[in-house]
């Protein structure tokens, strides 16, 4: 669902960036955030509400609301809408509240 | 600990404009923004701006952003830019707790300018938490910054300028807009924007709102209904729309959380978007050497955010002991620009709000 034709903006071809979503290999492109790459792959559900487990997608896309929190390379509560995608990242749907980072 | 003469939190039009004035006056400046790119809301604004020539009217937001950033280039040695960095806390001694790549560090500032902008409001309706219900600015970010379609068929809720402009931008990206609904009895934004999307066949429906979103794991449809004069839905008028995305454009509220950690006085002023800091004419808050400007002080426009940023920068530079050439004259001229920007009926609300804030201060 990438935009190909636009009257004002141009989106040149960019190198693809492989990553894993719940174990499945997907591809984003250079310049993507984790959330934008997932969305381009048709993945809209990013997280689950803590108690009722309702599906959540992104809402603000600028790091304000935490609706896009996921587990990335073992770290929980990563705001995927402002985290740049890197090759080989392991992105997972987070269960529950997550843990504090660090040791 | 890292130190800085002036830390500016937020690299949108307000923060960048303040930086320019401070640097010109000889100050050492640090700009911090949690986004990877500077520019704030301007990054995604592909449309031409309104306003006067002085604030780059008829230029596109994305181009204005470039001018603002280029303006800072000559001062590279005194300017530190930290993008991808979130300011998570501010202590009362002006120590900022920052988060970059999951690492926490502190910066001690002599003065702080908060230009964090605003966040988009949510709207209560059944299933409003389903994936596919997105804030309008988020849809804009996805399309114009990352080149991704939020969906194929969209319902837009809200007819302020943001709803109208993003509605048009969706069409430009080749996405179908099934309808634009507005709870009030008239269009909120400029009529030129409304006519533009009407001409392209989008039904613009006043006195109408969303009743509920329908779907399991994501939006599969939306139900809209007509509202009576008390803004209550009228049973029997429901209409189901075949959409996969619901775009919410019902206003912004200032992002003052960080600002409030410094202990500044904040009051609720409806006309300015919610809780806003009390300020003097130099954009000084009630805490010494803490300033606020742009959307975080009053929800308005990039044009006024730029002018406010410059006035703030001049005052902050002088408060730090820097000489600003012709300061009095330049501040007057900038205040005049603000006065012009806020003239006429569209500026009525902001004018009232600012008056209220002055009285409270
Ligand atoms: C769809 C749309 C159309 C618009 N059209 C126009 C128009 O035609 N003309 C016009 O004049 N205006 C327009 N505006 C309004 C204009 O974009 C805003 O008023 C303006 O961007 C406000 O500037 P700002 O610098 O105060 O805030 P912003 O541009 O929002 O910038 C704030 C910055 O602060 C950063 N930030 C926030 N919190 C933190 C933190 N804790 N740590 C680090 N960084 C942080 C953010 O990442 C952001 O970059 C439009 C807005 C939208 C959404
Ligand atoms: S969508 Fe709001 S923080 Fe990511």
In terms of domains, do B132 and B198 share one?
yes
Per-residue model confidence (pLDDT) at position A36 = 96
CB burial readout A22-58, b (16+ within 10 A) else e: eeeebebbebbbbbbbbbbbebbbbbbeeeeeebbbb
What pLDDT digit, counting tens, does each position of A43-82 carry? 999 999 989 999 999 999 988 888 999 999 999 999 999 9
Per-residue model confidence (pLDDT) at position B76 = 87
Q: Does B293 score more than 90 pLDDT? A: yes
Count Cα atoms within 13 angstroms, Cβ side, for B302. 30
Q: Which domain holds residue B13?
A: 2-119+252-360
> What is the C-alpha to C-alpha distance for residues B65 and B79, in angstroms, rounded to an integer?
17
The fraction of chain B above a pLDDT of 90, given in percent, is 86
Per-residue model confidence (pLDDT) at position A68 = 95
Residues 6+ apart with CB under 8 A from B341: B51, B52, B55, B301, B303, B304, B307, B347
In B, which residues are within 8 Å of A82 by CB distance?
A: 34-36, 84
Q: Which of B279, B281, B321 is nearest to B110 (CA)?
A: B321
Query: What values do phi and psi take at B9, rounded to 5?
Result: -95, 115
Which ipTM score applies to this complex? 0.93
Ligand lying nearest the CA atom of residue A81: 2
In B, which residues are within 8 Å of A49 by CB distance?
A: 129
- Chain center to CA of B269: 17
How far is A63 from chain B, CA to nearest CA, in Å?
A: 8
pTM attached to this predicted model: 0.91
Q: Which of A38, A46, A55, A64 to mutate for ligand 2's pocket (most ligand atoms within 8 Å of CB)?
A: A64
Sort strands B176-181 and B204-205 into parallel, antiparallel or unpaired.
parallel
Over range B232-255, report the average pLDDT. Answer: 96
Q: Does A101 score more than 70 pLDDT? A: no
Q: Do A9 and B46 touch (CB under 8 A)?
A: yes
Task: Say if CB B252 and CB B116 are below 8 A apart.
Answer: no
Nearest CA in chain A to B144: A9
Q: Does B101 score more than 90 pLDDT? A: no
Residue among B148, B165, B171, B249 with most chain A CBs within 10 A, to mutate: B148
In A, which residues are within 8 Å of B149 by CB distance?
A: 1-3
What pLDDT digit, counting tens, does each position of B199-219 carry? 999 999 999 999 999 999 999
Over range B230-241, report the average pLDDT. Answer: 96
**Eight-class DSSP state of B310:** H
Spacing, Cα B13 to ligand 2 middle (Å): 22
Task: Say if CB A16 and CB A28 are below 8 A apart.
Answer: yes
How far is A3 from chain B, CA to nearest CA, in Å?
A: 5
pLDDT band of A21, cuts 50, 70, 90: very high
> What is the C-alpha to C-alpha distance for residues B23 and B25, in angstroms, rounded to an integer?
5
In terms of domains, do B114 and B261 share one?
yes
B119 touches chain A (CB under 8 A): yes
In terms of domains, do B173 and B240 share one?
yes
Torsion sign, CA atoms A68, A73, A75, A76: positive
Sort strands B133-135 and B153-157 into parallel, antiparallel or unpaired.
unpaired
Per-residue model confidence (pLDDT) at position B275 = 95
Q: Do B36 and A82 touch (CB under 8 A)?
A: yes
Ordered domains of chain A (ranges, CATH): 16-92 (3.10.20.440)
In terms of domains, do B12 and B87 share one?
yes
CA angle B34, B38, B39 (to 5 degrees): 115
Q: Which of A46, A47, A56, A65 to mutate for ligand 2's pocket (most ligand atoms within 8 Å of CB)?
A: A65
Q: Does B330 score more than 90 pLDDT? A: yes
In terms of domains, do B145 and B289 share one?
no
Can you list the alpha helix ranges (DSSP code H) found in chain B? 13-24, 61-70, 136-140, 161-172, 191-199, 257-261, 302-319, 327-341, 348-360
Q: At which of B229, B248, B267 does a domain end?
A: B248
B347 touches chain A (CB under 8 A): no
Q: Do B138 and A33 touch (CB under 8 A)?
A: no
Residue among B141, B196, B256 with most chain A CBs within 10 A, to mutate: B141
Task: Say if CB B248 and CB B158 are below 8 A apart.
Answer: yes
Nearest CA in chain A to B44: A9
Which comes out higher in pLDDT, residue B46 or B335? B335
> What is the C-alpha to C-alpha distance for residues B133 and B158, in angstroms, rounded to an integer?
13
> What is the C-alpha to C-alpha distance for residues B151 and B166, in angstroms, rounded to an integer?
14
Q: Does B17 score more than 90 pLDDT? A: yes
Closest C-alpha residue for ligand 1 atom 26: B294
In terms of domains, do B112 and B126 share one?
no
Q: Does A103 score more than 90 pLDDT? A: no
In terms of domains, do B259 and B177 share one?
no
The CATH number that applies at residue B162 is: 3.50.50.60
Over range A19-25, report the average pLDDT. Answer: 97
The fraction of chain B above a pLDDT of 70, given in percent, is 99
In terms of domains, do B302 and B158 share one?
no
> What is the C-alpha to C-alpha distance for residues B287 and B291, in angstroms, rounded to an integer?
8
Per-residue model confidence (pLDDT) at position B266 = 96
In B, which residues are within 8 Å of A101 by CB distance?
A: 102
Q: State which of B26-30, B49-53, B88-92 shows the largest mean pLDDT.
A: B26-30
Nearest CA in chain B to A38: B148
Give B131-155 as a DSSP string: TTEEEHHHHHIIIIIT-B-S-SEEE
How far is A64 from chain B, CA to nearest CA, in Å?
A: 7
Task: Say if CB B65 and CB B41 are below 8 A apart.
Answer: no
Q: At which of B192, B216, B248 does a domain end?
A: B248
**Eight-class DSSP state of B238:** -
pLDDT band of B150, cuts 50, 70, 90: very high
> What is the C-alpha to C-alpha distance for residues B65 and B311, in angstroms, rounded to an integer?
18
Q: Considering only B222-226, B314-318, B347-351, which range has the smallest mean pLDDT?
A: B347-351
How far is A31 from chain B, CA to nearest CA, in Å?
A: 8
> What is the C-alpha to C-alpha distance for residues B73 and B75, in angstroms, rounded to an integer?
5
pLDDT band of B16, cuts 50, 70, 90: very high
Per-residue model confidence (pLDDT) at position B52 = 67
Per-residue model confidence (pLDDT) at position B346 = 78
In terms of domains, do B256 and B241 share one?
no
Q: Give the orientation angle of helix B302-319 with respect to helix B61-70, to 10 degrees.
A: 20
Per-residue model confidence (pLDDT) at position B51 = 67
Q: At which of B194, B226, B248 does a domain end?
A: B248
**Helix/strand/coil for B48:** strand
Pocket flag, ligand 1, residue B258 (CB < 6 Å): yes
Per-residue model confidence (pLDDT) at position B260 = 94
Q: Does B66 score more than 50 pLDDT? A: yes
Q: Does A102 score more than 70 pLDDT? A: no
In B, which residues are within 8 Å of A9 by CB distance?
A: 46, 144, 147
Task: Say if CB B77 and CB B70 are below 8 A apart.
Answer: no
In terms of domains, do B170 and B194 share one?
yes
CA angle B251, B254, B257 (to 5 degrees): 140
Spacing, Cα B12 to ligand 1 middle (Å): 6
> What is the C-alpha to C-alpha distance for residues A30 and B191, in angstroms, rounded to an integer?
39
In terms of domains, do B195 and B262 share one?
no
pLDDT band of B184, cuts 50, 70, 90: very high
In terms of domains, do B65 and B28 share one?
yes
Closest C-alpha residue for ligand 1 atom 13: B301
Q: Structurally, how many domains does chain B consist of? A: 2
């Amino acid at each position: 669902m990438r935009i190909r034709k636009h009257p004002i903006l141009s989106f040149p071809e960019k190198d693809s960036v492989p990553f894993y979503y719940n174990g499945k290999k997907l591809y984003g492109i250079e310049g993507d955030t984790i959330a934008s790459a997932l969305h381009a792959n048709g993945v809209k559900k990013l997280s689950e509400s803590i108690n009722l487990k309702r599906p959540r997608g992104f809402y603000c896309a600028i790091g304000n609301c935490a609706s896009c929190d996921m587990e990335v390379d073992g770290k929980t509560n990563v705001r995927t809408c402002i985290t740049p995608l890197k090759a080989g990242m392991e992105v997972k749907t987070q269960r529950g509240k997550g843990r504090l980072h660090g040791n | 600990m890292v130190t800085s003469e002036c830390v500016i939190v937020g690299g949108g039009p307000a923060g960048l404009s303040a930086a320019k004035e401070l640097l010109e006056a000889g100050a050492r400046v640090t700009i911090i923004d949690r986004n990877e790119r500077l520019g704030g809301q301007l990054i995604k604004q592909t449309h031409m701006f309104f306003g006067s020539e002085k604030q780059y009217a008829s230029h596109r937001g994305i181009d204005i952003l470039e001018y603002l950033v280029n303006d800072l280039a000559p001062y590279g040695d005194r300017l530190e830019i930290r993008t991808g960095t979130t300011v998570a806390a501010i202590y009362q001694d002006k120590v900022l707790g920052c988060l970059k790549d999951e690492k926490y560090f502190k910066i001690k500032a002599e003065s702080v300018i908060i230009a964090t902008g605003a966040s988009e409001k949510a709207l209560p309706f059944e299933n409003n938490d389903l994936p596919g219900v997105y804030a309008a600015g988020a849809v804009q970010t996805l399309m114009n910054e990352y080149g991704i379609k939020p969906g194929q068929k969209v319902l837009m809720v809200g007819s302020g300028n943001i709803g109208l402009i993003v509605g048009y931008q969706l069409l430009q990206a080749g996405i179908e807009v099934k309808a634009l609904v507005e709870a009030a009895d008239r269009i909120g934004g400029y009529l030129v924007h409304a006519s533009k999307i009407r001409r392209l066949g989008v039904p613009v429906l006043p006195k109408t709102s969303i009743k509920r979103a329908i779907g399991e794991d994501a939006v599969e449809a939306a139900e809209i209904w007509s509202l009576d004069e008390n803004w209550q839905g009228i049973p029997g008028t429901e209409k189901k729309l075949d959409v996969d995305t619901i775009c919410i454009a019902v206003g912004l509220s200032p992002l003052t959380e960080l600002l409030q950690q410094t202990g500044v006085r904040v009051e609720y002023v409806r006309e300015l978007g919610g809780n806003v800091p009390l300020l003097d004419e130099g954009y000084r808050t009630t805490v010494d050497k803490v300033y606020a400007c742009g959307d975080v002080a009053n929800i308005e426009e990039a044009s006024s955010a730029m002018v406010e940023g410059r006035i703030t920068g001049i005052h902050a530079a002088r408060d730090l002991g820097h000489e600003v050439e012709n300061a009095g004259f330049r501040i007057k001229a900038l205040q005049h620009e603000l006065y012009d920007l806020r003239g006429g009926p569209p500026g009525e609300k902001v004018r009232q709000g600012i008056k209220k804030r002055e009285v409270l201060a």
